A and B are shown apart, each in its own frame.
Chain A
């Protein structure tokens, strides 16, 4: 779960990491009031969405004066910001963070994260934050330094000092920098986070380290240990369909095409996506029904596709296994089709556990399907049905008239 910047920063502050003075506003007037209370001249007004790429999408404004803060707030609150990490629907901005603008003498990229391939915690650092760090590394403008952390947060003091030296932290600030590293590692572990990133971290003229932007990703699988944890936004408020599917044990990723996909399991779901593209079609989504989903959960997922006006055809590819049998998905499809007024062709490929039973269930629902024996023919059929219909009627009429004339 990706947290908002203001939530991430408040967690960092709890772990002793300095952040700029600022407050969250839900209206333009409130944004102005915060700016007046903060005083000063220069402010950052930042749209709060739990996804990266905000700056490029116009979600961050640096402005002068409280009136400009109000205007920026009015523009941002209620807008939908679309970045490559949000999916095509974007994310509705409900809040802005109004902060004093902080100038830095030096800036850094710093993150604590779980490195899955090494199965260890690492802290990564680079000189010069705030820009596209990945591009800078790729193009050789900066190098990433690496520091290993024990699973319980222990850091070797000499290694930390060496890490600070490689990032050109001034000698008299290395002690403060090393305690910041320890605090960041503690935050990662204490929060059950997979990432705690500060970008940029600035060293101010006064010699303080301040986190200007922060991103924390919590491990969804560990949320049970933190029941009082704030969530980014309630699903009802953001209309985040992917999150609403998640609550029904369905992994859903929106895409731009017109073929709605349903598969059981992530691997089969990705294979279906690839087959549809290979057949010349454009998927409207990726959908993986997890093994614990019930037929009502499946119905919720399929309703998301039926409610998507871009979807012209639904393709269901299920290989029933030991955990999820075909009839659960078949029942879900039947329920969703009966609930919806939408008429949309459904191409189905059932194989494995309870495939015949699922077909019988669908017949009982009175649900017409295009039944395919294998996943390639299913993909081909879906692609054919999704193609915009050419005007065949007039051609048929013309031919018929000719036949009559003869």
Chain B
């Protein structure tokens, strides 16, 4: 298996007929993802990429079993699109849209509370379970099926880390982009909790960065739940000038959310910190070997 989405997941694309929706729907179909329908208000009844288009999510979910909806709706309507998917009880919603207004995200989070949906993103590159499905906009050339889970706030650094993991002779069970925005749905610790229950994931790589408190909350979760698998992390932005926003809306070094504080918290929880961002592949390979050795000694 994998987390959040697998080879059998049936995918709806919100905003399918726009430029991004069309481009990435084709690339997801090429990868073998089971994209079953699209939603574009005002275009109900149309066929696009040989798939049916509906005017709203509720109609689409009446006509098809939908496991995941991916949102390519532009920022002005992305919040409303997510709320529509939450109200239609779509189990997993992945929002690629960047630059969603924060006040809209407050309303989305209020709608998520107590709902049956899990939101990944916004500003997420999506979910990739190599060899099973791609629900997102990432490149797949260096991804390999395997047993390492990846949790990340950054798309380009995820590409880098996936390439490193594959070069180290390993592969990925699922890679999840939780998004670089200050307010998002699925958090790092939610994601790790899913990986720790996944029988096909042996270890996890966490790509953190300055800003927010997700890495600290992850450390608390690990200290509490003591997942049995090795966890390797990096936190980028150690050398970022303080109080300046570094690209991501959420990336902002100011105590207590600077990189060193996050690294200390994760280390205290037992996480292995990669000595440098270019050594992440090696670090997870060694951590998995070490865990293997320990397991065989016990046996």
Q: Which residues of A contact B (CB under 8 A)?
A: 84-85, 87, 114, 116-117, 119-121, 151, 189, 192, 194, 219-222, 224-225, 251, 253, 255, 263-271, 273-278, 283, 286, 288, 290-291, 318-324, 351-353, 374-376
In the complex, what residue of chain A is closest to B210 when comparing beta carbons? A270
The B213-244 residues at the A interface (CB cut-off 8 A) are: 213-214, 217, 234, 236-244
Does B101 contact A221, Cβ atoms closer than 8 Å? Answer: yes
Task: Give chain A residues whose Cβ lies under 8 Å from the Cβ of B107.
Answer: 151
In the complex, what residue of chain A is closest to B214 when comparing beta carbons? A117
Among B104, B142, B157, B244, contact of A265 (Cβ-Cβ < 8 Å): B157
Does B155 contact A267, Cβ atoms closer than 8 Å? Answer: yes
Q: How long is the Cα–Cα vector from A174 to B141 in the complex, in angstroms?
A: 63
Q: Does more than half of chain A's interface fall in helix, strand or loop, or is it mixed?
A: mixed
Does B76 contact A224, Cβ atoms closer than 8 Å? Answer: yes
- Taking the closest CB of chain A, its distance from the CB of B265, in whole angstroms, is 14
Q: How long is the Cα–Cα vector from A352 to B141 in the complex, in angstroms?
A: 8
Does B103 contact A267, Cβ atoms closer than 8 Å? Answer: no
Q: How long is the Cα–Cα vector from A271 to B161 in the complex, in angstroms?
A: 11
A-B contact pairs, 8 of them (CB 8 A): A116-B182, A192-B101, A219-B102, A221-B102, A270-B237, A273-B236, A286-B241, A376-B278
Task: Give chain B residues whose Cβ lies under 8 Å from the Cβ of A120.
Answer: 106
Task: Give chain B residues whose Cβ lies under 8 Å from the Cβ of A84.
Answer: 242-243
Among B75, B139, B236, B243, contact of A322 (Cβ-Cβ < 8 Å): B139
- Taking the closest CB of chain A, its distance from the CB of B241, in whole angstroms, is 6
Task: Give chain B residues whose Cβ lies under 8 Å from the Cβ of A267.
Answer: 152-158, 180, 207, 209, 236, 248
Does A353 contact B141, Cβ atoms closer than 8 Å? Answer: yes
Task: Give chain B residues whose Cβ lies under 8 Å from the Cβ of A376.
Answer: 276, 278
Tally of contact residues, B, Cβ under 8 A? 64
- Taking the closest CB of chain A, its distance from the CB of B143, in whole angstroms, is 11
- Taking the closest CB of chain B, its distance from the CB of A142, in whole angstroms, is 17
Pick the most buried of A116, A151, A277, A351: most chain B CB atoms within 10 A of its CB: A116
- Decide if B269 is an interface residue (CB 8 Å cutoff): no
Given contacts A221-B75, A265-B247, A266-B251, contact A271 B103 (CB under 8 A): no
In the complex, what residue of chain A is closest to B164 when comparing beta carbons? A374
Which 6 A-B pairs have CB atoms at the shortest separation, nearest pair first?
A267-B154, A265-B156, A266-B247, A267-B157, A116-B182, A288-B247
Does B240 contact A273, Cβ atoms closer than 8 Å? Answer: yes
Task: Give chain A residues whose Cβ lies under 8 Å from the Cβ of B98.
Answer: 290-291
Does A375 contact B160, Cβ atoms closer than 8 Å? Answer: yes
The B84-116 residues at the A interface (CB cut-off 8 A) are: 98-107, 109-110
Among A87, A117, A151, A288, contact of B244 (Cβ-Cβ < 8 Å): A87
Does A286 contact B163, Cβ atoms closer than 8 Å? Answer: no
- Taking the closest CB of chain B, its distance from the CB of A89, in whole angstroms, is 12
Given contacts A117-B213, A267-B152, A288-B247, contact A321 B99 (CB under 8 A): no
